[in-house]
Amino acid sequence: MKDQIDYLKVRAALGKITRREFMGRMGALGVSAALANTMLADAVRAAGPQKGGTLRVAIQGGSSSDSLDPALAANSVATQVNRFWGEALVELAPGGGIQGKVAESFESSPDATVWTFKLRPGITFSNGQNVTAEDVVATIERHSGEETKSGALGLLRNIKDVRADGDSVVIELDGPNADLPYYMADYHLMIQPNGGKDDPTAAIGTGPYILKDVEMGVRFVAEKNPNYWGDLGNAETIELLVINDNTARVAALQSGQVDMIDRVPPRTAGLVARAPGVNVHTTSGPGHYVFIMHCNTAPFDNNDVRLALKHGINRQEMVDKILFGYGSVGNDTPINASYPLYTELEQRTYDPDKAKFHLDKSGFDGSILLRTSDNSFPGAPDAAALFQQSLSSAGIDLEIKREPNDGYWSEVWNAQPFCTSYWGGRPTQDQMFTTAYLSTADWNDTRFNNEQFDQLLVAARAELDEGKRKQMYADMGTILHNEGGLICPMFNDFIDATSDRIAGWEQGEKGFGLMNFYAPMKMWVAA
């Protein structure tokens, strides 16, 4: 029997039989499903990645109004495309922490106010041009300049000076920040020739692929970069399709049109997992589905209105009926137990009486308009309808406007005062708070402005005592919970799916879904 098992392991690892066939034959030999899964994973790793072929991906979130300028990336498609052609100085390591990309190493002064990043020797852009420290300096300058619209702006505001020093880049801050390397891993900060100042949409970077065909909101084709410094990227060609409709995206995977998809709808994830030749992968993390209010726009400039809406949402119902168990209840902060310095707050529960109390106290008497779209998060219109029903018990009239998927991230999110939205989370609390809740952040999509919160955020960066820093983050979470414009009913699991035609999925990658958007480069065509 051992010879039969070894034969099947080799065949499966080389893609000669599907995972489903492997599991079936192993079961016939009396091997348990758990042991067979372990054997298959070990065999695939031992066989190693195969080079060549075309890997096809379908992702939700893109639109015709997107841009190739990494500074403007605001959805999953744009982030994935950035991963193809570009790299930042550093990147989140698969198991957490930071690893080098354009920079091979980094170090800080004892007080964490000066950071030095040493560039990887011999690294070039996809056009063959050498990467210089001046290119890195120009990149940081472009994303932090007065005229920038970069999503990374909020992370770079405390940079006092950035300069080239031979093959190194020195970043001097106006105060200590132990998390700066995490900032430099932000997916907007792709290093470009002259920082992208000449042509920010040229998509010339140090990544493993070169864009060969671009149709915004529809299709992207990327081919291996012959000048790439590393070994990332197994397929010769990656084709990315933008399929925003959930049903169509799943159908594309099941029919063999694509090999990989993101955002499998929780409602059908169990059914999809049972389909022939399909593997579903779930990863819990910091991603959250939200309703966001502009705190500076009536009626949301009244905190009692905000509290009325927070008390009037049934979080558990949404986890049950929107996530179908693929996630957990939220508590009106963007932080959950996936963060290392997390402190649990008293859970806010559905209370229509409290909702009515706060609405009456606010003096507001009218309907509230909520904008939504499937493009904001899977099941968002259904979540809006549940919110409408739960608010009605408190006498609150919620009007729902369903917006077109195309253009949602440019015309509705961060533009309209009340809408459904989605955050993938960030590696650290400081980065999440700095990106979206610091009063000066460009992506402060709730228009939250709290002086005490800002002061705590800056102070926490300089605090080296972990216990004190943890308490500061707890205090910031409490402020957001009680006064912020964020309604966070649920944290979602990432639900991705791949076909048996490809191999190499690694469970446990930190960051976003699709293995932090590295799955198309790390997986390979096996059949």
8 pLDDT band, cuts 50/70/90, is low
Residue 15: band (very low, low, confident or very high) from pLDDT cuts 50, 70, 90: low
pLDDT in tens, 299-329: 999 999 999 999 999 999 999 999 998 999 9
Minimal CA–CA distance to 239: which of 225, 255, 254, 260? Answer: 260
d(CA 462, CA 344): 23
CA 270 from chain centre, in angstroms, equals 23
Per-residue confidence (pLDDT) for residue 319, from 0 to 100: 96
- 271's CB contacts (< 8 A; 6+ apart) are none
Confidence of residue 46 (pLDDT cuts 50, 70, 90): low
In this prediction, residue 9 carries a pLDDT of 65
Average pLDDT, the chain: 93
Q: How confident is the model at residue 229 (pLDDT cuts 50, 70, 90)?
A: very high
Residue 154 confidence (pLDDT) above 60: yes
For position 45, what pLDDT does the model report? 56
Q: Are residues 42 and 56 in contact, defined by beta-carbon separation less than 8 angstroms?
A: no
Task: Look at residue 95 in the predicted model and tell me its pLDDT.
Answer: 79
| 99 token code pair | 């690893």
- Is pLDDT at 515 greater than 80 in this prediction? yes
Asked if residue 23 has pLDDT above 90, the reply is no
Report in angstroms the alpha-carbon separations of 492 from 115, 243, 388, 477, 525: 35, 20, 21, 19, 29
Rg (CA), the chain: 24
User: What does the pLDDT average to over 426-454?
Assistant: 94
Lowest mean pLDDT among 144-153, 361-370, 395-404: 144-153
Helix axes 466-483, 451-462, angle to 10 degrees: 160
Mean pLDDT of 258-269: 95
Average pLDDT on 265-285 reads 93
- 348 in Cβ contact with 394 (< 8 Å): no
458: left (phi over 0), alpha (psi -120 to 50) or beta: alpha
Model confidence band, residue 18 (pLDDT cutoffs 50, 70, 90): low
How much is the average pLDDT of 34-58?
Answer: 78
- Looking at residues 443-467, what average pLDDT do you find? 93
pLDDT at 182: 93
Superfamily grouping for domain 288-492: Dipeptide-binding Protein; Domain 3 (3.10.105.10)
**Alpha carbons within 13 A on the beta-carbon side of 191:** 28
The Cα 56–Cα 204 span in angstroms is 22
Candidates 384, 372, 375; CA nearest to 321 is: 384
pLDDT of amino acid 3: 67
Give the CA count within 13 Å in the CB-facing half-sphere of 296: 11
- At 340 the pLDDT is 83
Architecture category of domain 54-62+207-284+494-525 in CATH: 3-Layer(aba) Sandwich (3.40)
pLDDT value of position 310 = 98
* Residues 158-212: tens digit of each pLDDT: 899 999 999 999 999 999 998 999 999 999 999 999 999 999 999 999 999 999 9
- In the structure encoding, which two tokens stand for residue 72, read together? 């403007």
Q: How far apart are CA 140 and CA 191, in angstroms?
A: 9
Q: Give percent of the chain with pLDDT exceeding 70.
A: 94
CATH number, span 87-196: 3.90.76.10
Say if residue 406's pLDDT is above 60.
yes
Question: Is a pLDDT exceeding 90 seen at residue 501?
Answer: yes
Nearest to 168 by CA among 120, 240, 227, 225: 120
Nearest-CA neighbor of 398 among 302, 254, 324, 291? 291
| pLDDT given at position 38 | 64
Model confidence at 459: pLDDT above 70: yes
Q: What's the pLDDT score for residue 278?
A: 95
Is-cis flag, bond preceding 299, omega within 30? yes
- Closest Cα to residue 441, out of 100, 158, 130? 158
> pLDDT-derived band of residue 442, with 50, 70 and 90 as boundaries?
confident
Distance CA 221, CA 54 (A): 10
Domain locations along the chain: 2-47, 54-62+207-284+494-525, 87-196, 288-492
